[in-house]
Structure formats: C-alpha cells, structure tokens
C-alpha cells in the first residue's frame, strides 16, 4: 500500500495535501535548557535568535544554519540537550515529579529520560532501559555530560522480568519502536525503507509493549505512549487494543497545535503541517484507582568518605567503584549499566573522582576557574601548567563544571576521558 494512501484511514484529502507539502520543508531543531547549569537570560544573550517552544518550558527552537549547537562549548558542558521539538512534548505532558519512580522502557538515546530527570530536579529515580546494550550506552554518555544522577541505566528485555515490577512504577514512558514515518524529512532513508508490512510488524510489537507497560504501572499511575509514526495502525489502533484488554483510561489533551483523529479520538498527532516539529503521536493513559502514598526508605548506613552528595542518601559499591543514589530501587533482576552517579574509584584512603561526579556535584572543596583557551587545550587532552595546591581540583569555565583534575603543585593533570576529547567552536 502506498504511504499517503494508507493515511486516508483518518486524514482527509486536504489534510494529506498539507502534510505532503510540509514534508518537503526542512526539518525542525530544538534544544532543552538545563537550568541547573545555565539561566534562560544567559542562554538568550549567547544565542539571541532562539525562539520559544510553543509548549515546553525551557525548550527553544533554532535554525541549524545559524547555530551549530552540537559543536558548542555549552553543549559539551551540559547546558542543554539537543532534541527534536515534537519529541520534547512527551515527557513534558507526562510531568514526572521529584519523588516518583519512573520507567522509560525504550529510552535510547535518552532525550525523554534527560527531560524527565530535569523535570524531577535530579530527584527520585528513573529506570532508563533499552533492550540494545549499545543504544543504552548512548543514554550513559548523555547522563554524564548533563550531570544527571537520578538514573538507573539498564539493558533488559522487560518481558522476561515484568513480574518483578508488577504495579511498581508511578510513571512510565513507552516511546515505542515504530515504522518511523514521522522522521521522513529528517532522514530520507526512513522514507525509502517504509512499507505497510513494516507498519503491521511494528503494530504487533507495540501491542505487546503497551500491555506489558500497563502491567508495570501503579494503580493511579500515569503512562505516556508515543511513536514517531503517522500510521493509525501504530497509534490509535494500539490504544484501542489496550482499552479492550485492560481498565485503562485515556486522559484528554487539548491544544490548538494538536491534531485529533475525529473517528477515533485517542491521543493526539503532532503533524508538521500544524506543529513546528517532526511527526509524532502521543497518548496519556491512567490506571484506575488512587495511588497509595509510600514512605521513602531511609539509608541508615554511613559513608566512610566525606563527600558532597547533593542530598543523596543512598550509596552502592561495585568492586572499588562508589555510586550515589537518591531513591532505593529493586535492582535484583536488572542488567545495570549505571546505578546513579559514579563518584569514582576508591584507592586506599582516597577517591579518584569520576567525570560523571564532576558534572553532577553542586560544590567541591577545591575549585579553579580556567580560561576559554585553557578549556580548549584541556579538551584536546593537554595538561595545564598552573600553580595550584596538590590534590584534586574541580575545573570550571564561566562557573560551569568541566572535570575534576589533579594538581601536583605545578601542573593540572588531564583526567578527561579520552573518548570526550575534541575540538569545538
């Protein structure tokens, strides 16, 4: 079946023409500001041509021909995350809160996880899972750069462990694998690879994922189902399947930029002919009942090291490596890539601090401000000839945390992971 022909199940001829025309336009780009590291006024002073996202607080649209933000110093220092404008709406509407236990079931490369973490102010816990280990490692890279500590990054097939987490999560993100038609103008390979058979294949995967996720959701909890597909079969039809096989309720979503299928008004479409972003579908789902308030577990063990913990009360040690967490979690069935924030390696009576901890921590006993020229040299892997007292030192640039290096009194030794060394503008 031809692509536009199959959209006639819910779009009129006029709407299909408008969609066709929009797909011939350039794709849209946006950033999500990390207000823990940079204020809005500062961002707009540096990049005055940014435009506010129509829905998402701290979201901004930008022209990639004007700003190459992926190569910016401020991107490297975790001040913002580059995310497609429509994709930003998913976590924003779910609106996770500080004490929540959240699951992002298909999380890689981590945009929705990062946004949820920012909304939660780095509190509570998010299980950021992907069935592909290589893809899950991309979540780790973004978590470290952005200084996120409330994540447990995992590589699991949750269908094999779902009984361990029955009615466990307050909020769940199901950004389901799909045929990808919403990304046609962003990646023309998606268009060449599209087929109706692919839509039907993913529909069956999506049906199993949404039922499993609902099984994991607490009574009274909320989850969001999303795809980057225009297809009715992968969107409203999947929601209909959930409604036929559970007690789920659909939460209403209203905005002038949302498109609602009049024949089957479950969820909303973000169509590029209406919304300034790529094609997306999302639906907010609630499990009937009232969530029972649970008392937070408190950690009665004391850490033998005096470190800045940002208010986190739990710690875990894997071999010589120390990690901090804000909220306890049932970890037994999980294949863990990162549990909280990696503080560093315990070596006799000291901790060799990790890059992740440098980006996470709000303060540090010894700090040293460096210039832009010194920052560029440090990112190229060079040590810095600076007289400074011996020991570990947090390097900062414009009050932004760079890394925790080590001084021998005359030289600041470079400890930046080799994979992060690069040039930027």
Write down the pLDDT at residue 301.
Answer: 64
**What pTM did the predictor assign?**
0.96
- What is the CB-side half-sphere exposure of residue 300 using CA atoms within 13 A? 0
Would residue 228 show up in a list of annotated catalytic residues for this protein?
yes
Please classify residue 420 by burial: count the beta carbons closer than 10 Å to its beta carbon, then call 0-12 exposed, 13-18 middle and 19+ buried: middle
Q: What is each CA distance from 360 to 136, 145, 151, in whole angstroms?
A: 20, 9, 12
Write down the pLDDT at residue 45.
Answer: 98
Please classify residue 163 by burial: count the beta carbons closer than 10 Å to its beta carbon, then call 0-12 exposed, 13-18 middle and 19+ buried: exposed
pLDDT digits (tens, 9 = 90+) for 245-280: 999 999 999 999 999 999 999 999 999 999 999 999
The b/e string for 363-393 (b: 16+ C-beta within 10 A; e otherwise) is ebeeebebeeebbbbbbeeebbebebeeebb
Distance separating alpha carbons of residues 3 and 281, to the nearest angstrom? 17
Domains along the sequence of the chain with CATH = 364-425 (2.30.130.60)
Write down the pLDDT at residue 423.
Answer: 80
Q: One of 106, 228, 264, 273 is an active-site residue; which one?
A: 228
Write down the pLDDT at residue 300.
Answer: 53
Write down the pLDDT at residue 422.
Answer: 85
Selection from 408, 309, 301, 406 nearest residue 357 by Cα: 309
Residue numbers in the chain where pLDDT is lower than 70: 1, 293-301, 425
Residues pairing with 71 in the sheet:
none
Please classify residue 136 by burial: count the beta carbons closer than 10 Å to its beta carbon, then call 0-12 exposed, 13-18 middle and 19+ buried: buried
């Amino acid at each position: 079946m031809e692509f536009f022909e199959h959209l006639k199940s819910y779009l009129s001829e006029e709407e299909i023409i408008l969609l066709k025309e929009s797909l011939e336009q350039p794709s849209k780009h946006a950033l999500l500001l990390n207000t823990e590291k940079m204020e809005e006024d500062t961002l707009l002073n540096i990049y005055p041509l940014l435009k506010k996202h129509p829905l998402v607080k701290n979201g901004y649209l930008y022209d990639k021909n004007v700003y190459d933000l992926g190569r910016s110093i401020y991107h490297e220092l975790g001040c913002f995350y580059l995310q497609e404008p429509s994709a930003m709406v998913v976590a924003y509407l779910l609106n996770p809160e500080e004490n929540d236990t959240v699951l992002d079931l298909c999380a890689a490369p981590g945009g929705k996880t990062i946004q949820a973490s920012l909304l939660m102010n780095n509190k509570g816990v998010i299980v950021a899972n992907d069935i592909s280990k290589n893809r899950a490692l991309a979540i780790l890279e973004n978590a470290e750069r952005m200084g996120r500590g409330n994540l447990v990054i995992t590589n699991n097939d949750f269908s094999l462990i779902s009984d361990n987490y029955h009615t466990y999560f307050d909020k769940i993100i199901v950004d389901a694998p799909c045929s990808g038609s919403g990304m046609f103008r962003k990646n023309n390979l998606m268009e060449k690879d599209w087929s109706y058979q692919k839509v039907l294949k993913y529909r069956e995967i999506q049906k199993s994922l949404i039922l499993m996720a609902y099984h994991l959701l607490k009574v009274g909890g909320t989850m969001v189902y999303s795809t980057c597909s225009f297809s009715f079969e992968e969107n409203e039809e999947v929601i209909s399947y959930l409604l036929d096989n559970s007690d789920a309720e659909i939460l209403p979503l209203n905005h002038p930029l949302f498109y609602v299928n009049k024949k089957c008004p479950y969820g909303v479409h973000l169509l590029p002919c209406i919304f300034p972003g790529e094609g997306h579908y999302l639906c907010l789902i609630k499990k009937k009942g009232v969530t029972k308030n649970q008392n937070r577990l408190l950690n009665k063990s004391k850490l033998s090291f005096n470190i800045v913990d940002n208010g986190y009360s739990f710690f875990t040690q894997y071999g010589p490596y120390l990690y901090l967490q804000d909220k306890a979690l049932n970890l037994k069935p999980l294949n863990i890539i990162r549990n909280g924030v990696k503080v560093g390696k315990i070596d006799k009576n000291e901790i060799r601090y990790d890059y992740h901890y440098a980006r996470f921590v709000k303060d540090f006993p010894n700090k040293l401000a460096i210039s832009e020229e010194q920052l560029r040299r440090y990112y190229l892997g060079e040590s810095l000839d600076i007289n400074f007292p011996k020991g570990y030192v947090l390097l900062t640039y414009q009050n932004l945390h760079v890394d925790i290096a080590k001084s021998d009194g005359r030289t600041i030794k470079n400890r930046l992971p080799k994979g992060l060394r690069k040039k930027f503008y």
